[in-house]
C-alpha cells in the first residue's frame, strides 16, 4: 500500500456511558483514538419513501494499517470531519496482517 493513500485522519468512536446535565446516565459515541486512513466510496442509493421522504444509503470502504486498526470492532463507529460511519464488517485481505478493509455505512443524523 502506498502511504500517500492514507490521507484522511479518522477518529475511532466507542459507545461510552456518560452523565448529562440532569445527572442521567446516557450512552454516546466518543473518540478513543485517531489514525490515518483511505476512504473510498463504494455505492450510493436514494430511496423514496412515503410523504416524499428521501433516505440515502452511502457505503464506503475505509482502509487502515493493520497495526493501527487491529483493535477495531464492529460495535465501534468511525468519524471523519462531520461524517459518522457505522461499521458493517472488517476484512483482513488474504490474512496478510498488512491492512484492514472496513466496510461502513454512513449514519445520517
CATH number at residue 68: 2.40.10.270
Measured CA to CA, the distance from residue 36 to residue 6 in angstroms comes to: 5
Domain that holds residue 41: 3-107
pLDDT at 89 exceeding the cut of 80: yes
pLDDT digits (tens, 9 = 90+) for 20-75: 888 899 999 999 999 999 999 987 665 665 555 555 565 899 999 999 999 999 99
Domain count, the chain: 1
Residues contacting 14, CB < 8 A, separation 6+: 29, 30, 32, 75, 76, 77
Please answer whether residues 40 and 58 qualify as being in contact, where contact means their C-beta atoms are separated by less than 8 angstroms.
no
Measured CA to CA, the distance from residue 57 to residue 103 in angstroms comes to: 13
Amino acid at each position: 500500500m502506498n502511504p500517500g493513500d492514507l490521507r484522511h485522519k479518522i477518529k475511532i468512536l466507542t459507545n461510552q456511558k456518560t452523565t448529562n446535565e440532569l445527572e442521567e446516565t446516557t450512552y454516546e459515541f466518543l473518540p478513543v483514538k485517531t489514525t490515518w486512513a483511505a476512504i473510498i466510496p463504494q455505492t450510493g442509493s436514494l430511496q423514496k419513501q412515503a410523504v416524499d421522504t428521501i433516505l440515502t444509503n452511502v457505503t464506503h470502504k475505509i482502509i487502515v494499517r493493520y497495526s493501527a486498526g487491529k483493535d477495531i470492532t464492529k460495535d465501534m463507529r468511525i468519524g471523519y470531519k462531520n461524517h459518522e460511519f457505522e461499521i458493517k464488517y472488517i476484512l483482513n485481505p488474504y490474512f496478510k496482517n498488512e491492512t484492514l478493509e472496513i466496510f461502513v455505512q454512513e449514519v445520517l443524523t
